[in-house]
């Protein structure tokens, strides 16, 4: 069964360092997303991406964050200068249709720890 894969599963970084989280969405999906969950809190929407551009982003997704689909298969989330409060589990998801009708398929997450 097709699945969304994410790497790395866990990354530890120093505050101020750049981090790139990678995702391979399901191949025929058109919509891509990043969500995160800070320990003990709700899953939070970060950004949605469609047709090679950001379609929606949350207030969390500030200038420190960026997304890219560099080669038609990978979908990456970059945090330019990590802060302690960026420590969270980051989930990539993809869907065939938009969130108004289509279910999301999630990866298993990348745990980011910022020291």
Which residues within the stretch 9-28 sit at the binding site for other proteins (CB under 8 A)?
none
Which of 19, 25, 29, 48 touches other proteins (CB under 8 A)?
Answer: 48
CA distance 11 to 53: 26
Which of 28, 39, 42, 70 touches other proteins (CB under 8 A)?
Answer: 42
> Is the torsion defined by CA of 91, 92, 95, 99 positive or negative?
positive
- Decide: is 96 part of the binding site for other proteins (CB under 8 A): no
State the nearest-atom distance from the C-beta of 107 to other proteins, in Å. Answer: 6
CB 43 within 8 A of CB 35: yes
């Amino acid at each position: 069964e097709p699945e969304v894969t994410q790497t790395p599963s866990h990354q530890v970084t120093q505050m101020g360092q750049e981090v790139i989280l990678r995702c391979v969405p399901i191949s025929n999906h058109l919509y891509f997303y990043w969500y995160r969950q800070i320990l003990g809190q709700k899953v939070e929407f970060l950004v949605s991406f469609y047709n090679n551009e950001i379609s929606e982003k949350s207030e969390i997704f500030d200038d420190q964050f960026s997304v890219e689909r560099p080669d038609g298969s990978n979908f990456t989330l970059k945090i330019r200068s990590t802060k302690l409060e960026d420590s969270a589990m980051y989930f990539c998801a993809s869907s065939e249709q938009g969130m108004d009708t289509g279910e999301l398929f999630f990866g298993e997450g990348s745990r980011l720890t910022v020291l």
